[in-house]
Amino acid sequence: SSGAPDAKNLRVKLVLLGDSGVGKSCIVLRFVRGQFDPTSKVTVGASFLSQTIALQDSTTVKFEIWDTAGQERYAALAPLYYRGAAVAVIVYDITSPESFNKAQYWVKELQKHGSPDIVMALVGNKADLHENREVPTQDGIEYAEKNGMFFIETSAKTADNINQLFEEIAKRLPRPSS
Ligand code: GDP
Ligand code: MG
């Protein structure tokens, strides 16, 4: 085969959105490289990584991951970043209610201006910091349910639920008919 995307080999643009510091880059690095570097600096410049996963029905999904370098802070630039994205992963930090509010802002923004069939996942990251939790799991569940999103809590630090996040997204992608 040519390796071109088809019904069994999907290729999708995935963007991450959320407050600076919630762990977006760490989630990507954990998923793609299996690493967590607690000393890593804030992403400078645009970052682009890809990772392919295989599902049980032998479909493969290649995620082309756009990790923002802070463009999302400039509201006017955000649409350039998420344009054409099939998947948006909206991340907050479970120790930061402010970041949960910001996540809700991004959900609304994508509902207004994103692709109509975009798959959205709401992610409560830093689940390992449960002693400092300020956003109850139930709040994430309820908000995601109301907005038709997939919800999961993750830890890029311990790797908890990182692969599950991307597997669940892959399962929810619309399949082109062959
Ligand atoms: P970004 O700005 O959203 O890309 O956030 P980063 O990925 O750069 O992470 C910001 C900070 O949070 C870094 O100091 C990371 O080490 C830390 N961090 C990221 N994910 C986790 C996590 O799951 N648990 C803990 N405890 N710290 C994390
Ligand atoms: Mg980053």
Work out the angle at residue 149's Cα, subtended by the Cα atoms of residues 177 and 13, and round it to the nearest 5 degrees. 55
Q: Judging by beta carbons within 10 Å of its beta carbon (0-12, 13-18, 19+), is residue 164 exposed, middle or buried?
A: exposed
Residues above pLDDT 70, as percent of the chain: 87
Contacts of 141 (CB under 8 A, 6+ apart): 151
Give residue 41's pLDDT. Answer: 62
88 pLDDT higher than 70 = yes
43 pLDDT higher than 90 = no
Closest ligand 1 atom, residue 68 Cα = 4
Residue 5 near residue 11 (C-beta atoms within 8 A): yes
Give residue 107's pLDDT. Answer: 96
> 125 in ligand 1 pocket by Cβ < 6 Å?
yes
Our separate counts of H helices and E strands in the chain read 5, 6
pTM of the model: 0.92
Closest ligand 1 atom, residue 155 Cα = 23
> 69 in ligand 1 pocket by Cβ < 6 Å?
no
- Structure ipTM: 0.99
pLDDT digits (tens, 9 = 90+) for 110-154: 999 999 999 999 999 999 999 999 999 999 999 999 999 999 999
State the average pLDDT for the chain: 89
Q: Strand 60-67 to strand 87-93: parallel, antiparallel, or no bridges (unpaired)?
A: unpaired
Determine the average pLDDT of the residues in 51-56: 92
Return d(Cα 81, Cα 44) in angstroms, integer: 15
Tell me which residue has its CA closest to atom 17 in ligand 1: 23
